[in-house]
Copies of this chain bind each other. A is one copy, B any other.
Amino acid sequence: MFQPPTFTRGSIGSPAEATVITTVLTRGPISRVDIARMTGLSQAAVTKAARPFIDAGYIEELPNRERTAGAGRPASPLAFRADREFFVGIKITSDELIGVVTDLRAQILHSRHRTLGSHVFDHVAAQIVDLVGELLGHDPAYRERTHCMGVALSGDVDRASGTVRYSPFIGWKDVELAAHLTRATGLITTLENDVKALTVAEQWFGEGVDTATFALVTVGAGIGCGLVVGGQVVGGAYGVAGEIGHVPVADGGPPCHCGGRGCVEAIASTEAIVAASRRAAGRENLTMDDAVALARGGHEGVREVFSRAGHAIGLGLAAMVNLVGPERVVVSGEGVANYDLFEEQIRQTFVAQAFAAAAKCPLSIRPLPFEAWARGAAAVAVQTLFTL
C-alpha cells in the first residue's frame, strides 16, 4: 500500500498549519467550523491548512453523524489518525533508562526498562541506542513508522541545541546528546528537561488542554514545577523557572543543598523525609519504604514528618498560585504509594494560604508512574514535529 511522505521537523509550512494540526490533535474529532470558531481562522484557511495533513494520512475525515440535522452542508469532523506515526520517549534516571513507544497522542503502546551500569557518556548513549532497537523491534510497524524520539532528564537542558548544559545527578556538563543520538539511531532526537517534558504532555494531552495557564508540580527526589503561562512553557531568563522546590517557606528552617534555608525541598524531598524519619524513629538505616510503613502503622513521629512535608508543599503551592494564578494545578509524584500520608495536609495548607479567590484553583493530586516521564519525552517529540 502506498504510504504518503512523512512529516519531519520543519515540514510545517505556516502558523495556520501549526494551529490547525494541533487543534485536531489535541481536541479532535472536531469540525472545520469549530476549528475556525476556536482559532479565529476563516473556514477557507482551515480547509487549506488541513489539506496537506489529510494527504499525508495524519488527519482523516470521519463520516458525518449529523446527516439528519437539517439545513446547510453537513460538516465532516476531522480526526487524527493516532497510529499514523509512532514516537520513542526515553527518560534517563540515575540507575535506569525507561523507554516507551507511543502513538501521535502520546499514548503508551509499549514500554521497557534497562539498568544503567554507570554514568559514563559512552555507556549511557550505547544503552539508549540498544533500548531503542529493542523497543522498535517489538513490532514491525514501529520500525517502519517511527522517525522521532524525545529524551528527558533532570537538569539544565538546552532543547534548541540538544545539549545537556548541566545535570548534577548524572554528572554531565555541556554534552551534545541529541546530535549523537540522531546519528546513532536514525531518529530525529529532541532533548528536554524532564519536568518540562511532563508539562508538555499535560499541556497537549492532559489537564492542560483547555487552559492557557496551568502548573504541573512533581514531588519526589526533587520537587519541580512546569509552568505554562499564556499557552507557553515558562523558561526563565536565566534558565531557571518553576523551581518550587526552592521557594523559601520556613525562615530559619533546615539548610538546603542549594545553599538556602527552609526551601520546600529541604523539608519535603524524599531525602529530607527519610532523614527526618530516621531521627524520629531512631533508626539510622531506615528507608523510604520503612518510613511509609511506620507512618501507616501509626508511628506518631514519622506521621508528623509526612505532615510537615505536606505542609511545606502546600506553602510552596500557595506561593506559586498567589504569584502566577494558574487555572489548575496537577501535583504528581513518584509512585502512588505514599500520597495518602500527605495529601490532606497539602490541601489544608494550600487553602489556608491561597490568597482570596486563588483558593478556588483546583489541585489534582495523583500518582506518576515512571513510564509517564518517558511519555513526556515522546510528547516533546510530537510537539517538535507539529510546531513551527
Interfacial chain B residues near A249, Cβ < 8 Å:
248-249, 251
Interfacial chain B residues near A252, Cβ < 8 Å:
250
Interfacial chain B residues near A355, Cβ < 8 Å:
240, 243, 246, 258, 260
The 3 A-B pairs with the shortest beta carbon distances in the complex, nearest first, are A236-B325, A241-B325, A237-B327
Question: Is residue A184 contacting chain B, with contact meaning CB distance below 8 A?
Answer: no
Q: Give A348-364 as 1s and 0s: 1 = Cβ < 8 Å from B's Cβ atoms.
A: 00001101111011000
CB within 8 Å for A315 and B259 given contacts A324-B241, A324-B324: no
- Minimum CB–CB distance from A146 to chain B (whole Å) comes to 33
5 pairs from A and B in contact (CB 8 Å cutoff): A213-B236, A240-B357, A247-B318, A247-B319, A319-B319
Interfacial chain B residues near A250, Cβ < 8 Å:
250-252
A237 close to B213 (CB less than 8 A):
yes
Report the contact-size class of chain A (Cβ under 8 Å from the partner): 35 or more
Chain B residue with the shortest CB-CB distance to A211: B237
Chain B residue with the shortest CB-CB distance to A320: B323
Question: Is residue A375 contacting chain B, with contact meaning CB distance below 8 A?
Answer: no
Chain B residue with the shortest CB-CB distance to A260: B353
Question: Is residue A234 contacting chain B, with contact meaning CB distance below 8 A?
Answer: yes
A240's contact among B156, B235, B358, by CB below 8 Å, is which? B358
Q: Give A190-215 as 1s and 0s: 1 = Cβ < 8 Å from B's Cβ atoms.
A: 00000000000000000000011100
Question: Is residue A229 contacting chain B, with contact meaning CB distance below 8 A?
Answer: yes
- Minimum CB–CB distance from A240 to chain B (whole Å) comes to 4
What is A's interface to B at a CB cutoff of 8 Å?
A: 156, 211-213, 225, 227, 229-230, 232, 234-244, 246-253, 258-263, 311-312, 315, 318-328, 352-353, 355-358, 360-361
Interfacial chain B residues near A361, Cβ < 8 Å:
237-238
A323 close to B244 (CB less than 8 A):
yes
A249 to B249, CA, bound (A): 4
A244 to B324, CA, bound (A): 10
- Minimum CB–CB distance from A155 to chain B (whole Å) comes to 11
A229 to B235, CA, bound (A): 10
A325's contact among B211, B234, B357, B360, by CB below 8 Å, is which? B234
A332 to B248, CA, bound (A): 22
Chain B residue with the shortest CB-CB distance to A236: B325
- Minimum CB–CB distance from A226 to chain B (whole Å) comes to 11
- Minimum CB–CB distance from A154 to chain B (whole Å) comes to 13
A253 to B211, CA, bound (A): 34
B315 close to A251 (CB less than 8 A):
yes
- Minimum CB–CB distance from A346 to chain B (whole Å) comes to 14
Known: A247-B318, A258-B356. 4 other contacts (CB 8 A): A213-B234, A236-B325, A261-B353, A319-B319
Interfacial chain B residues near A225, Cβ < 8 Å:
323
- Minimum CB–CB distance from A263 to chain B (whole Å) comes to 8
Interfacial chain B residues near A360, Cβ < 8 Å:
238
- Minimum CB–CB distance from A313 to chain B (whole Å) comes to 12
CB within 8 Å for A236 and B353 given contacts A243-B358, A251-B250, A319-B319: no
Interfacial chain B residues near A259, Cβ < 8 Å:
352
Chain B residue with the shortest CB-CB distance to A246: B355
Interfacial chain B residues near A236, Cβ < 8 Å:
213, 324-325, 358
B319 close to A237 (CB less than 8 A):
no
Chain B residue with the shortest CB-CB distance to A319: B247
Interfacial chain B residues near A312, Cβ < 8 Å:
251
Interfacial chain B residues near A328, Cβ < 8 Å:
237
